[in-house]
Amino acid sequence: MTNPLSQAETPLLTALWKCTQENHTPFYTPGHKRGMGISQKLVDAFGKKVFAADLAELTELDNLLAPEGVIAKAQQLAAEAFGAARTWFLVNGSTCGIEAAILATCGTGDKIILPRNVHSSAIAGLILSGAMPIFVNPEYDPILDIAHSITPETVAAALEKHPDAKAVFMVYPTYYGICGDVEAIANITHSYNIPLLVDEAHGAHFAFHPEFPMPALTAGADICVQSIHKTLGAMTQASMLHLQGNRVNCDRITSSLQLLQSTSPSYILMASLDAARSQVALQGKELLSQTLHLASEACKRISEIPGLSVLDLSNFNYLNFTQDRTRLTIRVSELGLTGFQADEILETEFGIRSEFASPQHVTFIISLGNTSSDIENLVRGLIKLAQRYENNCLFPKNEEEKYINIFKIANKSVMSPREAFFAATETLEIEKACGSICAEIICPYPPGIPVLMPGEIITQDAINYLQQILASGGFITGCSDTHLQTLKVVSI
């Protein structure tokens, strides 16, 4: 019998470090040869040591697409730490994990039930797989202009109408840190003997402290995809896909990832996953207790600033929704500012950079990397912002004058996303595009929730919403014309 692995071990990181110390003559990629050929500008900026670790698939470093050695051990440790039966490392971000989850469960023409506020990577998964989306709308707060989660009731209704669906997909938590009742949704989904796929990109930390919402795997998800880099200590792009149960064929996941992942993965990224897992497995509760304390302190102090308010789910009647308290969403609209305007002021004048802005809010992620001085700077900057615009709070706001509810836009799919994506296209001036079939993914980013996607009929409401975002200071991605003067449509 082999000895059980310890969470204190970092098999991949250790092997990579040993390789960087070894004296050998390299005749393999990458071309900079262990940092010897790196631009001096890069060396001056970052030092030389890190480039010595930028290695290829040496024998002792294993192979991501067919792991049997240190990568396999590192993934096994990750599965144990996060509560999965099996874990795959992702070097192309959660994007490729979400695409793989859909590819592994759905084929051409298969139905998949998913919320309308999915990330654009899920739409990419539909295009790659040929699956047909059955969208359900999340709960929406028209006053705050914030979408929350889908509910068990909407999922049950969708499955009753489409019992032949092959999977259910949900976002948990949302970009604003709101978590739906994933346990109830898992139970409903499993009653149809199909898997629940969860985009848990922003919830990698949930498993390591009891004060966070329940992790998706604990609640019954079959697959969850997590961006370890978003809220834990891995490097950008470093993510994981976790599997449990037997509703999804693990070989299908492996095959899908072989299509989607690079055959030349970064060992530095993978080693960062190994190290981040060990760190949170051993010290997670302590580190995240400090994080929660910082978040609570920030929330308390910011809530006392006139003209600002912090999103607090306990103030609303959303049964069985929970909230990640380290996701700080601040409403600035009472100051007469859009979130985009406030975000720009905070960045350019006070050196405070947020996660993202939306029409009425600015959202900040507080993680184990933040310090008390970070919170002090944030509070100080927000106080100065509020003082500058405090007179705007004296004027009553017209509560009827709200942003367009994106989830009441009557989008209708007439082609599958895959068919529309690969169809012949033409470019129309935007005022002539209504009624045409969209051929591109069009979404404000972040958070990357598509307003229009391939296969949907372009409506005036959708155009108005996108133009409203641009006018507020936001920007649009996914479309060939980011100024929204033209749209790419399917040629008829």
Tens digit of pLDDT for each residue in 427-443?
Answer: 999 999 999 999 998 88
DSSP secondary structure letters along 367-380:
-TT--HHHHHHHHH
| Predicted TM-score of the model (pTM) | 0.94
Which sequence spans correspond to the domains of the chain? 11-281, 285-394, 406-490
Residues 146-192 have pLDDT tens digits of 888 999 999 999 999 999 999 999 999 999 999 999 999 999 999 99
pLDDT tens digits for range 192-243: 999 999 999 999 999 999 999 999 999 999 999 999 999 999 999 999 999 9
290 confidence band (pLDDT: 50, 70, 90): very high
SS3 for 57-86 is: CCHHHCCCCCCCCHHHHHHHHHHHHHCCCE
Q: How far apart are CA 270 and CA 272, in angstroms?
A: 5
Question: Helix (H, G, I), strand (E, B), or coil: what is residue 301?
Answer: helix
Rounded-to-integer distance, Cα 261 and Cα 268, Å: 15
Structure tokens at 410: 């009557």
Domain over 285-394 is classified CATH 3.90.1150.10: yes
Q: Are 264 and 240 in contact (CB under 8 A)?
A: no
Of 396 and 431, the one with more pLDDT: 431
Average pLDDT, the chain: 92
The pLDDT score that the predictor gives to residue 394 is: 53
* Other Cβ atoms within 10 Å of 76 Cβ, number: 17
Torsion, CA 364, CA 150, CA 233, CA 55, rounded to 10: -120
Burial class (CB in 10 A: 0-12, 13-18, 19+), 22: exposed
Which of the listed CATH numbers 3.90.100.10, 3.40.50.2000, 3.40.50.2300, 3.30.565.10 matches domain 406-490? 3.90.100.10
Q: Give, as one character, the DSSP assignment of residue 112.
A: E
- Asked whether the beta carbons of 438 and 492 are under 8 A apart, the reply is no
Assigned CATH class of 11-281 = alpha beta
CA distance 367 to 468: 32
Q: Where are the alpha helices (DSSP H) in 167-264?
A: 182-190, 216-219, 228-231, 250-260
Closest CA to 169 of 191, 144, 136, 203: 136
To which H or E segment does residue 477 belong?
strand 476-477
Count of alpha carbons within 13 angstroms of residue 148, beta-carbon side: 26
Residue 179: DSSP 8-state: E
What pLDDT is attached to residue 400? 42
Q: How confident is the model at residue 399 (pLDDT cuts 50, 70, 90)?
A: very low
Positive or negative torsion for Cα 208, 4, 65, 38: positive
- Compute CA distances 88 → 8, 163, 263, 369, 422, whole Å: 19, 30, 15, 25, 30
Residue 4 pLDDT exceeds 80: no
Question: Which value, to the nearest 10 degrees, does the dihedral of the CA atoms of residues 286, 288, 292, 293 take?
Answer: 30
Strands 476-477 and 443-444: antiparallel
Structure tokens at 424: 């012949």
Helix residue ranges, H only, 58-202? 70-82, 93-105, 120-129, 152-161, 182-190
3-state secondary structure of 309: strand
Q: Angle of helix 70-82 relative to helix 267-303, nearest 10 degrees? A: 20
361 CB-near residues (< 8 Å, 6+ apart): 144, 146, 176, 311, 329, 330, 331, 332, 333, 339
Cα angle: 405, vertex 407, 410; to 5 degrees: 105
469 has pLDDT over 50: yes
Q: Which two tokens stand for residue 272?
A: 């960062």
pLDDT over 70 percentage in the chain: 94
Per-residue pLDDT reduced to its tens digit, 245-257: 999 999 999 999 9
Residue of 291, 127, 308 whose CA lies nearest to 212 = 291
Rg of the chain on CA atoms, in Å: 23
To which residue do tokens 């391939």 refer? 454
Q: SS3 of 134, please?
A: strand
Q: Using the predicted structure, report yes or no on whether residue 408 has a pLDDT greater than 80.
A: no
Q: How far apart are CA 19 and CA 92, in angstroms?
A: 24
